[in-house]
Amino acid sequence: PTLRNRADIYICGHDHNLQALKPESGVHFGVAGGGGAGLYELRPYDRSIFASRANGFAVIDADATRVIVTFIDASGKQIFEDVLKKDGTNALRP
């Protein structure tokens, strides 16, 4: 609820995996925590769009009309990309 109507996207680290989750209340969520420490077990659930128990990182490319979140594994290979676009209400949509 704190992010509703205040943020389009929230990406965190810490959890030792890579994830993209379905939006909730207009906010898109991602986890980019595969930075090299021991990896956590991962159980995708109904909000999971993408989930990987892999070391890697996220690249975020944004402008006034879109945000592109790309997950890269430790070998440098792109393993997932999500393009979120602004609509007329200033909300991001998949």
pLDDT tens for each residue of 27-49: 999 999 877 667 777 888 899 99
- 81: Cβ contacts below 8 Å, ≥ 6 apart: 68, 69, 70, 71
Predicted TM-score of the model (pTM): 0.83
Cα dihedral: 13, 16, 19, 25 (round 10): -50
Structural tokens at position 80: 């997932």
What is the pLDDT confidence band of residue 25, given thresholds at 50, 70 and 90? confident
* Structure confidence at residue 94 (pLDDT): 67
Q: In what order do the strands lie in the sheet with 92-93?
A: 56-62, 66-73, 78-86, 92-93
Give the model's confidence band at 81: pLDDT under 50 very low, under 70 low, under 90 confident, else very high.
very high
Give the Cα-Cα-Cα angle 10, 77, 61 (nearest 5 degrees). 35
**Torsion sign (Cα): 26, 20, 82, 10:** positive
Max mean pLDDT among 11-15, 29-33, 68-72 falls in 68-72
